[in-house]
Amino acid sequence: MNLVPAQYRNVSVADVPVPLDEVALGGYLVGRPVYRRTRYLVVRNAGACAVVEVSKESELPLFSPVTAVTMIARPEETAFAERSSPFMVSIDGMWTDPADDAEKVAWVRSAWEEIGEFGTGGVYLNFTGRDEKELSAGVDSAFGRNLRRLAEIKATYDPENFFRLNNNIAPAG
């Protein structure tokens, strides 16, 4: 039984040494063998990410050369602009005695600060540990260069900011 949802099957991730545009990616990928189950590639370069569909010579051989590359989503067309980190870290503390709250929270925050020097400076919004922070905490870091575009989309579809009880992107304007 395949537990991976259908829309996420047949996807591979590749770091590439070329710009993330259709011409450069085509020049780099066309002619290269691709495992037969790969149809979509999430390609990464210098912290940016794009999605391409690869066409192959044949679906039958285990490995078949790429014959064409079609851009599906450029880096600025996805919500999260920064996808260069190979790992995501969450520092979690658990304890039973409420009298230990201050000490344990301080430990988690200290560990987070120490490990932060090895990261990209970006955040994954589900892991911001908002505590007493405002709802926009981490939004600029998580969405980077795409934040302005997402705020414009928010202004179109949620101009009254009804969906605001999370790490909120405020509507533009």
pLDDT in tens, the chain (173 residues): 455 556 555 567 778 899 988 899 889 988 887 654 556 777 888 777 788 887 777 766 556 677 777 887 776 776 666 666 666 777 888 899 999 999 998 998 898 888 888 877 777 776 665 566 676 777 887 888 888 988 999 999 999 999 887 778 889 98
For residue 54, is it within any domain? yes
Cβ contact 163:169 at 8 Å: no
Cβ contact 69:29 at 8 Å: yes
Domain range enclosing 44: 9-77
Residue 10 CA to residue 172 CA, distance in Å, equals 36
Question: And the tokens for 13?
Answer: 């991730």
For residue 25, is it within any domain? yes
For residue 56, is it within any domain? yes
The number of distinct structural domains making up the chain is 1
For residue 152, is it within any domain? no
